[in-house]
Amino acid sequence: MRVVIALGSNLGRRIENLQGAVDALFDAPGLTFVAASPVYETEPVGGPTQGAYLNAVVVAESMLDPRALLDRAHSVENAFGRERAERWGPRTLDVDLIAVGTLMSDDPELTLPHPRAHERAFVLVPWAQADPSAVLPGRGSVAALLADLDQSGVRLRTDLVLEPPA
């Protein structure tokens, strides 16, 4: 099943946090790396005043149950010191499941696709780069969704690159 995972960091060594997340996500069986987007620097959305984020998207093939995939994402966040003290607050690492195949779920613990992905240029811009023909289940093509969004707060960082997992 094709999965889309969004990564973000605005605390600590941001690019090292993102690369560490890629390495850790694929360190155990069940996920096969397909593509990683370029890295973008983005303005925070919502929450308190905070520094800019680095964001990227990883596309993978998964043999994992969606809940197991979510557990892995949370484990990776925890390994990088993620604290959930404040909603939309600053974080060392954010690992979000954006889409898992064409699954749709209203479960509060695992809403699929991600309930705000269609509104977030910091997710859709990198996703479109990683997979130009991407479709957000229930919403349509990522390219069409992007056409309706302000992308001015999303800046490509050509000096930063995520390497595929070893």
The residues that are catalytic are 82, 91, 94, 96
Q: For 24-158, where are the E strands, in sequence order?
A: 31-36, 40-42, 53-62, 94-100, 105-107, 110-112, 135-136, 140-141, 154-156
Output the six-digit token pair for 101.
């195949």
- Give helix 14-25 / helix 66-79 axis angle, nearest 10°: 140
**CB neighbour burial string for 131-151, b if at least 16 within 10 angstroms, e if fewer:** beebbbeeeeebeebbeebee
Q: What CA–CA distance (Å, rounded) separates 44 from 53?
A: 7
DSSP-derived secondary structure letter, 37: P
Q: What CA–CA distance (Å, rounded) separates 91 from 14?
A: 10
